[in-house]
Amino acid sequence: MDFSVRLRLLRHKHKLTQGDLATILGVKSTAISNYESKRNEPSYEKLIALCDYFKVSCDYLLGISDTNLRFDNEDIDYETIQLYLTYQRLSDEHKNEVSKYMSYLLYKQHDLDNSKNNYMP
């Protein structure tokens, strides 16, 4: 799927008209029409603004990747998505156990990192 199709799908998903999206980007509505009909492409600045607005990666919007999720300006990889989906299937009790175990692992990692830094040969 290419940029023009993904842009149109995202615009529809967010229930925006071409005019609405144009206002958000600070361009004329014909610019959005041109993007969606492959007559023109956005500048890097506008591409980044589109990604920020729709909360997707540039790779996703350009059709390079099918990963469309971003968190804290980073793409979420497939492994993380699968981990999240598995976590969502757990009972509240088991989610609590996972949380405690993760805290333990972070503590253990921190302790290990500190012991490596304090080791003097």
Q: Are both 16 and 56 inside the same structural domain?
A: yes
Which residues does residue 71 pair with via DSSP β-bridges, in sequence order?
74
Q: Are both 68 and 102 inside the same structural domain?
A: no
Q: Are both 55 and 98 inside the same structural domain?
A: no
Mean pLDDT across the chain, nearest whole number?
A: 87
Q: Are both 95 and 70 inside the same structural domain?
A: no
Q: Are both 9 and 65 inside the same structural domain?
A: yes
Q: Are both 111 and 56 inside the same structural domain?
A: no
Task: Specify the CATH number for the domain of residue 14.
Answer: 1.10.260.40
Any domain includes 99: yes
Q: Are both 101 and 69 inside the same structural domain?
A: no
- What's the Cα-to-Cα distance from 96 to each of 10, 46, 80, 81, 82, rounded to whole Å? 35, 42, 19, 19, 18
Which secondary-structure segment (H or E) carries 30? helix 29-36
Any domain includes 81: no
* Rounded-to-integer distance, Cα 41 and Cα 58, Å: 13
The answer to whether 4 and 10 have CB atoms below 8 angstroms apart is: no
What tens digit of pLDDT does each residue of 38-59 get? 999 999 999 999 999 998 888 8
68 three-state secondary structure: coil
What tens digit of pLDDT does each residue of 62-92 get? 988 776 666 666 666 667 778 888 998 999 9
How many distinct structural domains can be found in the chain?
Answer: 2
Q: Are both 95 and 67 inside the same structural domain?
A: no
Domain residue limits at 101? 90-118
